[in-house]
Amino acid sequence: MAKSQAVRSRKRPRRWLRATLAVGLWTSLLGALFVTGYLMYLDRTIIETFEGRRWSVPAVVYAQPLELFPGAAISLDDMVQELERVGYRQTADARTPGTFKRRGNSLAIYARAFRFMERNRSSQLLELRFADNRISKIVNHAGQPIPLVRLDPPTIGSFFPSHGEDRIVLTPEQVPTLLTDSLKAVEDKNFDHHAGFDVAGILRAVWVNLTSGELRQGGSTLTQQLVKSYYLDNRRTFERKLRELAMSVILDARFDKQDLLNAYVNEIFLGQDGGRAIHGFGLGAQFYFNKPLGELAAHEIATLLAVIRGPSYYNPYRHPERVLQRRDRVLGILLQDGIIDATTFTISTTAPLGIVEGDRRGGAYYPAYMDLVRSNLAEQYDDAMLASQGLRVFATLVPRTQEAVAVGIQDALGRIEKSRQLEPNTLQAAVVVTNTQTGEVLALAGGRHSGVDGYNRALNANRPTGSLLKPVVYLTAIESGYHLASVIDDAPISLRMSDTDTWSPQNFDLEVHGPVPLVRALGDSLNLATVRLGLQLGVDNVASRLQSLTGHAPANQYPSLLLGAESMTPLEVSALYGTFASGGFYMPPKAVIAVLNEAGVPVTHHTFTLSQRIEPATAAALNRALEVVMRTGTGRTSRFSKSGVAGKTGTSDDYRDSWYAGFDDTRLSVIWVGRDNNEPAGLTGAAGALQVWDSIMAQLQVVPLTHLPVDNLYEVEYQTGLLARAGCADVVIVPIPDDAVLQAKTGCGITTQLSRRIRAWLRND
Amino acid sequence: MASKRLTLTLLVLSLSACATTSYEPVVHEPGPSESESVPDVVISDTSSATLALLEDSRTAGALGDHQAAINYLERAIRIKPRDPELWIRLAEQQVHSGNLEVAIQQARKAIALSGKRVDWQRAAWLVIADAEEARGRLEAADAIRRKWRTIKG
């Protein structure tokens, strides 16, 4: 009996052991499978992300480069502003690209290399000489005169994707060794040797933090930081940490150190600019210093390194003192590790922070204009392409014009609100400026406050155009046999619209003016005369003429269309007046000149697209009338009324919308002023929008309109349309067709014309 | 007719007492010096710059790089937007590039800018003729060339 019991007890422990082993083995096997599977999943995820981000470069958009040539109308001071706009620094001698030096009446400039649309331009030394607020001569480094040279254009925006990350991707060659050496020294001393994580680094960090009493060092390697950056997640759970660790090891095993370092340089988060997250040192350099990374000095690189640790905590704009302290500590590490020498250390630690302020910040930002760029590109490029393929977009914007617009709006609206005792900061505005002959959009303001990415009134605010549509009526009239001295009756008119509704328009001055020449009816914006004229022509004819000019099909087919009871956006109005200012050619609003791929190969090119819609002579006649508007009519309060400009003021019903469209020889501007809530601002076109135009043009240079020589200009009395001469009446100059019959004003001594007319009169029998 | 002659005679008689001064159409173009207190008005000299670009475009065109030629000419036009020659050369390059509709419109633009300069008008019309020919509209092209063979200027 005792023997079997002993045998049983010996067997039980072995079975239990075997069972445990079996369970253990199976568990480990399953566990290993699970872990392997999970690692494979991590592997695939991190590789995809890494490769994807590496090649994911948002399209960058450039403004028009400044063309410099002898005779160019730019003063030395303005030139300095343009240089500073693209981040050039004034130095003792211009010895490296991106610097300039003032020397009396001249500027020595070391122009940067730049890949323009059609060629790569290498960096070059230039000397610009100035006289009378113009460039008088340009010479190269050998002292030879050169006729033309371009400044590298500013970047005005990029198409960062919907998750908001913006970056400039740099190749390893574009990254200064100072930066990579410093990165390793400050963040990950053992980068070149570890396998993705660094125990020694962690221990060192713990020690430093303990002894210094503050969080001075992170224990993460660059690889770990890179992984963390890919999956921005603030939950610092153990599970997260483990994942990052695994992924770092995988990355480190799969890619070489150079690739990882470069990825880090292009990826690390360096700050937030509204909705735009600044990623990578390339964009960081541009954002904080408005310079390419290659031009940063040691103290500026140290600042960027300081920011890595926490771009909000170490925000140079909000906490400059804190950042300065950390920067200097970084410089100390660099000195200690022999990356910089003592002299550099001293210079760097005494240098100010040096980050750029205001308009120069972040390479300047024009969200309203970028809306138009996006719209132009939408046909051929989708968001994904724009966000990732490194395309280079050359746009039509002229920053100097854009700035004049932004300042002009603020100045004028502020002044208007003050002088009329309106509530401050409540008026809104939209402005579009185009080249009169090419239709390229030089500037675009979507609202009163530029740089704000919000409602774009220039593109999207549909507002009644009021008197701004009148020129279409007069154009139709000229094409139907009228001329500018033809007489029409400014007399009361009442139209029965329905059984109960009568339309009885009034003039703005509530007066009746009787028989008036066309030029005056347009010049003084007389409603009664215009309606009568329009009815004679046929409202549907005017409506279809409007449509034929720009494709805008008027929703309103009633007589009130003649007085502008039709809504259009400022951009549409710009296209309409563009057909006048160009001498008869419709040009679709254009913001993009060309798109090149990352290699510099052109993908699309948009040349000047025109479509002739008005006979040149007719357009010239209409433009003469618009000049009269400025010299003598409703635009005469402009400070440029006698400067050889043309334009039209517009006011809508109840003074809700104040419009102005006007042009000199080179620029057409369309301006709307009003309120977003559609409450009347109480401003006529002249009192509102025209004031904004004056403020804008005062900062630019007005060039009087060029007139082609014609044989048929006559002086006629503005009030009556009678032939007259300057000495004996208030006259305007208008073209009159040869077969027209005109009467002369008595007392001006005009007879030869009369006899010629009589002969014509006889001939007509 | 007779009543008209009567009116005329009466008119002439009544007017004969007035001083007769000849009256010509106005060729009156207020130049910058005549303008009253014109603020910030300038006339720019852009010739050497656009000449350089014109040269560059000719070279590029001769080498068959029509897109480069177009780029140069567009730059020139941005500097001097109303120069008919630039628009003519641009239109020519568009013909070489096969952008025939664009070429015709740009040539029309040159014509509109030419004023009385018959030489520019001719050059522009001949570009239109080339474009029409390239489009297969041979009669239209012929008609243009025939017409401009006879016009002097």
Chain B residues inside the 8 Å CB shell of A640: 39
CB A612 within 8 Å of CB A597: no
Q: Does residue A518 have a pLDDT over 70? A: yes
Structure tokens that stand for A682 in this block: 């109480």
CB A495 within 8 Å of CB A559: yes
Contact A712 B25 (CB under 8 A): yes
CB B122 within 8 Å of CB B85: no
Chain A residues inside the 8 Å CB shell of B47: 71
Which of A107-116, A244-253, A592-601, A750-759 is predicted with the least confidence, judged by mean pLDDT?
A: A750-759
- Which of B 18-57 lie inside 8 A of A, CB atoms? 18-30, 32, 35-49, 51-53
User: Could you tell me which chain A residue has the CA closest to the CA of B22?
Assistant: A752
**A89 or B47: which carries more pLDDT confidence?**
A89
Q: Tell me, what's the pLDDT at A363?
A: 45
Contact A607 B70 (CB under 8 A): yes
Q: CB contacts < 8 Å between A and B, how many?
A: 165
**A42 or A408: which carries more pLDDT confidence?**
A408
Chain A residues inside the 8 Å CB shell of B42: 73, 701, 703
Which of A103-112, A219-228, A715-724, B128-137 is predicted with the least confidence, judged by mean pLDDT?
A: A219-228
pTM of the model: 0.84
Backbone angles phi, psi at A236, to 5 degrees: -95, 60
Which of A256-265, A415-424, A459-468, A577-586 is predicted with the least confidence, judged by mean pLDDT?
A: A256-265
Contact A758 B8 (CB under 8 A): yes
Contact B25 A714 (CB under 8 A): yes
Q: Tell me, what's the pLDDT at B21?
A: 39
Q: Tell me, what's the pLDDT at A711?
A: 86
Contact A70 B45 (CB under 8 A): yes
pLDDT tens across A303-343, in order? Answer: 999 999 888 889 999 899 999 999 999 999 999 999 999 99
**A760 or A98: which carries more pLDDT confidence?**
A98
The pLDDT > 70 percentage for chain B reads 69
Instruction: Give the mutation candidate from A751, A762, A764 for the B interface (greatest B CB count, under 10 A).
Output: A751
A176 alpha-carbon distance from chain centroid: 30
Chain B residues inside the 8 Å CB shell of A639: 39
User: Could you tell me which chain A residue has the CA closest to the CA of B102?
Assistant: A609
Which band of pLDDT confidence, cut at 50, 70 and 90, is reported for residue A765? very low
Q: Does residue B33 have a pLDDT over 80? A: no
ipTM of the complex in this document: 0.84
pLDDT tens across A254-302, in order? Answer: 888 888 999 999 989 999 887 778 889 998 998 899 888 999 999 999 9
Chain A residues inside the 8 Å CB shell of B91: none
Instruction: Give the mutation candidate from A118, A436, A438, A641 for the B interface (greatest B CB count, under 10 A).
Output: A118
CB B76 within 8 Å of CB B57: yes
Q: Tell me, what's the pLDDT at A346?
A: 93
Q: How many CA atoms lie within 13 A of A719 on its CB side?
A: 6
Q: Tell me, what's the pLDDT at B34?
A: 39
- How many angstroms away from the CA of A583 is the closest CA of chain B? 7
Q: What is the DSSP letter of A463?
A: E
Contact A644 B112 (CB under 8 A): no
Chain B residues inside the 8 Å CB shell of A602: 67
pLDDT average, residue stretch B119-138: 96
CB A226 within 8 Å of CB A196: no
Looking at A188-221, list the stretches that DSSP marks H as alpha helix, in order from N- to C-terminal side.
199-212
Q: Tell me, what's the pLDDT at A751?
A: 67
Task: For the beta carbon of residue A511, count every other beta carbon within 10 angstroms.
Answer: 11
Q: Tell me, what's the pLDDT at A242?
A: 81
CB A453 within 8 Å of CB A274: yes
- How many angstroms away from the CA of A616 is the closest CA of chain B? 6
- Decide if B113 touches A, using CB distance below 8 A: yes
Q: What is the DSSP letter of B19?
A: P
Q: Does residue A722 have a pLDDT over 90? A: yes
pLDDT average, residue stretch A464-473: 97
> Which of A386, A388, A577, A575 shows the shortest CA–CA distance to A475?
A577
Chain A residues inside the 8 Å CB shell of B113: 583, 708
Q: SS3 for A606-674, per residue?
A: CCCCCEECCCHHHHHHHHHHHHHHHHCCCCCCCCCCCCCCEEEEEECHHHCEEEEEEECCCEEEEEEEE
Q: Does residue A381 have a pLDDT over 80? A: yes
Chain B residues inside the 8 Å CB shell of A72: 44, 46, 49
pLDDT tens across B63-99, in order? Answer: 999 999 999 999 999 999 999 999 999 999 999 999 9
Contact B45 A71 (CB under 8 A): yes
| Enzyme catalytic residues of A | 187, 467
- Which of B 80-99 lie inside 8 A of A, CB atoms? 81-82, 90, 94, 99
Residues A103, B95: Cα–Cα separation, whole Å: 48
Contact A72 B44 (CB under 8 A): yes
Contact A702 B41 (CB under 8 A): yes
- How many angstroms away from the CA of B48 is the closest CA of chain A? 6
Residues A735, A716: Cα–Cα separation, whole Å: 10
pLDDT tens across A596-634, in order? Answer: 998 888 999 999 999 999 999 999 999 999 999 999 999
pLDDT tens across A155-213, in order? Answer: 888 887 766 777 788 888 889 999 999 999 988 888 888 888 777 777 777 777 777 66
Contact B39 A440 (CB under 8 A): no
**A171 or A26: which carries more pLDDT confidence?**
A26
H or E stretch covering A332: helix A320-336
Mean pLDDT of chain B: 81
Q: SS3 for A79-136, per residue?
A: HHHHHHHCCCEECCCCCCCCEEEEECCEEEEEECCEECCCCEECCEEEEEEEECCEEE
Chain A residues inside the 8 Å CB shell of B11: 758
Residues A371, A220: Cα–Cα separation, whole Å: 40
Q: SS3 for A559-596, per residue?
A: HHHHHCCCEECHHHHHHHHHHHHCCCEECCCECEEEEE
User: Could you tell me which chain A residue has the CA closest to the CA of B3?
Assistant: A762
> Which of A352, A362, A284, A289 shows the shortest CA–CA distance to A321?
A352
User: Could you tell me which chain B residue has the CA closest to the CA of A702?
Assistant: B41
Contact A118 B45 (CB under 8 A): no
Q: Tell me, what's the pLDDT at B49?
A: 92
Q: Tell me, what's the pLDDT at B17?
A: 45
CB A468 within 8 Å of CB A456: no
pLDDT tens across A730-745, in order? Answer: 999 999 998 888 889 9
By residue count, chain A amounts to 765
Q: Does residue A519 have a pLDDT over 90? A: yes
- Decide if B14 touches A, using CB distance below 8 A: no
Q: Tell me, what's the pLDDT at B57?
A: 97
Q: Across chain B, where does the E strand assignment appear?
A: none
Residues A319, A388: Cα–Cα separation, whole Å: 33
By residue count, chain B amounts to 153
Q: SS3 for A701-740, per residue?
A: CECCCCCCCCCCEEEEECCCCCECCCCCCCEEEEECCCCC
Q: Tell me, what's the pLDDT at A214?
A: 56
Contact B39 A616 (CB under 8 A): no
CB A552 within 8 Å of CB A546: yes
Contact A610 B109 (CB under 8 A): yes
Contact A762 B8 (CB under 8 A): yes
Q: Does residue A344 have a pLDDT over 50? A: yes
User: Could you tell me which chain B residue has the CA closest to the CA of A611?
Assistant: B105
User: Could you tell me which chain B residue has the CA closest to the CA of A137?
Assistant: B48
Chain A residues inside the 8 Å CB shell of B68: 118
pLDDT average, residue stretch A59-69: 94
Which of A17-21, A158-162, A311-315, A422-426 is predicted with the least confidence, judged by mean pLDDT?
A: A158-162
Q: Tell me, what's the pLDDT at B7?
A: 58
Mean pLDDT of chain A: 89
- How many angstroms away from the CA of A52 is the closest CA of chain B? 33
Question: Between the CA atoms of A141, A143, A148 and A151, what dihedral angle is there, to the nearest 10 degrees?
Answer: 30
User: Could you tell me which chain B residue has the CA closest to the CA of A72?
Assistant: B44
